[in-house]
Amino acid sequence: MWEPENSYQRMLEDALADVPYMIAAKVISDKLSTGGVEMTEVEREELAEHLKKLDGERFVFGDLSSGDELVRVEITAADVALLNERLDAFFTEGVVSVINGVGEAASGQILLALHASWAEEAEGQQLDRAGFCERLHARWGEGIDLLRMHLTVSREFGDLANTTLRREEEQESPVLADVLLRLHARACQVTDEIACLLSGGFSDGAMARWRTLHEIAAVALFLRQHGEQVAQRYVDHEVIESARAARDYDECCERLGYAAMGEAELQEVRQRHAEVVAKYGPDFDGPYGWAAEALGLKRPRLRDVQVGAGIDHMRAHYRLASHNVHANPKGVFFKLGLLGDVDVLLAGASNAGLSEPGQNAVSPSCRSARLWERSRPQWTAT
């Protein structure tokens, strides 16, 4: 692991270690001030360094050209209490400023050191990564290969369906067919992302991507059940999402330094939004407004679409996956990539926890029961 001589951690530790001595020097300086002896900021820093040595030598400061002047300082119980009080105040309120200050001071030094040693460091990381991937493949390779086989079959099916449907001159449900093909293509892409994350040892990231795959499956199954009219609503709902995105952009573009949208462009977005709401009703304006009429709900949620699609039995898995998407406490303290109840901060890859996202990607909820049965032993192997 790369550890420069002046690493941020070491500089921070040194800065925090200096704090008690700096506060003690300030307490002594204040006592001297009451007796008419003033110390400069530089002299206080020198006094702090002197206190760290504890070598019994006298501390000399000021202009001694007129002769030495000995000042004796007596540290009382009140001074000790004051020192402790200021230390408590620092670690309650002031530690953030030290962290920020060290960060600014260390960033340039660390960057220079990293540039100087990066070639060697990069080679070492590549060797470590290669060894990790080799061990991961020995344990999970067969299961990941089955997932990629499943993906290949799905892509071949999608290509065949796309070619066949595009050739048909007359279709009973052209909008539905087009939407389902697009959802299928996106599902294949997300599954490929899951396979890549699993191959790299990122089980939590793979679970987060499965969350998206599950949403795609829920929407596709729901549309397939409800047909052409709901598919058209789904397509038209893009206008609602575009209007929401335009509002967000208009609110933040100035702070980002981006060019504002033209008034004519904004007006067009508002006009299209008004037209689809007038066409489908106010319930259409919600996040899942395209499913409102089919579900008979004013404000449907994803849960309602899952129930309508018949895959709401995966809700617990979906919630587990959501922890890896949001910055909630569960996602901070729980990691699929950790074995058991261990107090470890996982900041990279792990060869643990790959079974959950792997088996979910080929589970019966995606209508792949036969391949699921073949792959399951690989995913649940210990």
Q: What angle do CA 243, 247, 252 make, to 5 degrees?
A: 150
Dihedrals phi, psi of 20, to nearest 5 degrees = -60, -35
Same domain, 360 and 222: yes
Q: How many domains does the chain have?
A: 2
Report how far apart, in Å, the C-alpha atoms of 309 and of each of 154, 189, 274, 284 are: 20, 21, 29, 19
| Calpha distance 293→291 (Å, rounded) | 6
Give the dihedral sign, CA 139/144/145/146: positive
The residue to which tokens 């048909």 are assigned: 168
DSSP result, 286-309: STTGGGHHHHT-SS--HHHHHHHH
Same domain, 277 and 353: yes
Contact present, 293 and 222 (Cβ < 8 Å): no
DSSP type of residue 343: -
Render pLDDT for 132-154 as a digit per residue (tens, 0 to 9). Answer: 999 999 999 999 999 999 999 99
- Which domain covers residue 332, as residue numbers? 140-379
Dihedrals phi, psi of 182, to nearest 5 degrees = -65, -40
Would the pLDDT of 63 be above 80? no
Same domain, 341 and 316: yes
Same domain, 160 and 254: yes
The residue to which tokens 């996602």 are assigned: 331
Q: Is pTM, for the whole model, over 0.85?
A: no
Does residue 2 fall inside a structural domain? no
Render pLDDT for 190-248 as a digit per residue (tens, 0 to 9). Answer: 999 999 999 999 999 999 999 999 999 999 999 999 999 999 999 999 999 999 999 99
Same domain, 52 and 109: yes
Give the dihedral sign, CA 45/51/55/61: positive
Specify whether the backbone of 341 is left (phi greater than 0), alpha (psi in -120 to 50) or beta: beta
Dihedrals phi, psi of 40, to nearest 5 degrees = -80, 170
| Calpha distance 267→280 (Å, rounded) | 20
Pick from 40-54, 214-228, 293-307: least confident: 40-54
Same domain, 207 and 87: no
Q: Quick one: what percent of the chain has pLDDT higher than 90?
A: 47
